[in-house]
């Protein structure tokens, strides 16, 4: 084993184009998100950085890249989305290899991406659709001081894919932090799974309902195994459940278009029809 290239700054994904490798760098406090090219001799050149685009267009983490249909496709966050300025939503963008800055365009904006886990790699299947993974708010289903986003988005929490019956045994904050200065004491707040931070105790047998097409919650529905944002920030969403199945199908279109542009389905991957 030997190194193909060195000196990269937090590389997150790669794809091949001809005899070159294109790599994404996540973006850190000292280095903006970037796309770099590695030639067949190991030379690294920067092809695109966030500083070359309008502020908020390409925001960390930049987590996915693939070359398909003559375009490079990226998965990243964005804070200048048309209908959600300042909100760090997940997006899919693309650019041409011969002019990354001039051809850069965001294709879809509005994936939930506020919690611990961003959306990540994108791949294209033989069916002509693009697949990306979802973004979960927490690792455990319980919001706590380890979730840094809780300070600015205190009502965010995970949603179950099916109805969940709780034992009534909540979780007290173990250490003090801004949302619970009493953390670590008997007066610490109690948080339940799949509920907002500090919601307090609940009786045993309390059922947390899964957001479904018949019972959406905060613009969200779930399939049998995963939660999806339904009310996108810049698109109309329609959904229907396949008879006799837990599979939920969605279609999305801009207000000015008459044809669906993306569909989701269970199992837990976003499945998209890319124009």
Domain ranges of the chain: 11-111, 220-273
pLDDT of residue 89: 87
pLDDT of residue 252: 36
Beta strands in the chain (DSSP E): 11-17, 20-25, 34-38, 44-49, 59-68, 71-78, 89-95, 105-111, 122-124, 129-132, 164-165, 171-172, 190-191, 207-208, 220-222, 227-229, 236-241, 248-253, 270-273
- In tens, the pLDDT along 174-226 reads 999 999 999 999 999 999 999 999 999 999 999 998 887 777 776 566 654 44
Residues near 127 by Cβ (< 8 Å), separated by ≥ 6?
none
pLDDT of residue 222: 60
First to last CA, the chain: 40
pLDDT of residue 106: 94
- Tally Cβ neighbours within 10 Å of residue 204: 10
- CATH assignment of 11-111, given 3.40.640.10, 3.40.920.10, 3.30.465.10, 2.120.10.30? 2.120.10.30
pLDDT of residue 220: 62
pLDDT of residue 223: 53
Counting as low any pLDDT under 50, the low residues of the chain are 224-275
Q: What pTM was estimated for this model as a whole?
A: 0.69
């Amino acid at each position: 084993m030997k190194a193909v290239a060195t000196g990269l700054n937090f590389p997150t994904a790669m794809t091949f184009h001809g005899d070159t490798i294109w790599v994404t760098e996540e973006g850190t406090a000292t280095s903006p998100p970037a796309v770099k090219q590695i030639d067949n001799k190991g030379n690294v050149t920067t092809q695109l950085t966030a500083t070359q685009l309008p502020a908020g267009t390409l925001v960390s983490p930049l987590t996915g890249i693939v070359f398909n249909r003559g375009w490079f496709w990226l998965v990243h966050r964005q804070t200048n989305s048309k209908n959600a300025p300042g909100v760090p939503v997940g997006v899919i963008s693309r650019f041409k290899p011969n002019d990354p800055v001039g051809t850069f365009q965001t294709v879809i904006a509005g994936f939930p991406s506020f919690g611990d886990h961003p959306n990540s790699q994108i791949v294209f299947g033989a069916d002509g659709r693009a697949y990306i993974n979802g973004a979960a708010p927490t690792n455990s289903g319980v919001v706590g001081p380890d979730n840094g986003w809780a300070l600015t988005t205190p009502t965010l929490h995970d949603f179950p894919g099916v109805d969940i019956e709780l034992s009534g045994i909540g979780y007290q904050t173990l250490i003090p932090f801004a949302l619970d200065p009493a953390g670590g004491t008997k007066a610490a707040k109690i948080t339940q799974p799949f509920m907002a931070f500090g919601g307090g105790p609940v009786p045993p047998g309390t059922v947390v309902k899964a957001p479904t097409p018949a019972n959406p919650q905060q613009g969200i529905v779930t399939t049998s195994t995963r939660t999806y944002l339904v009310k996108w920030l810049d698109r109309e969403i329609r959904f229907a459940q396949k008879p006799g199945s837990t599979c939920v199908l969605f279609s999305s279109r801009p207000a000015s278009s008459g044809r669906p542009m993306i569909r989701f389905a269970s199992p837990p991957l976003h499945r998209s029809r890319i124009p």
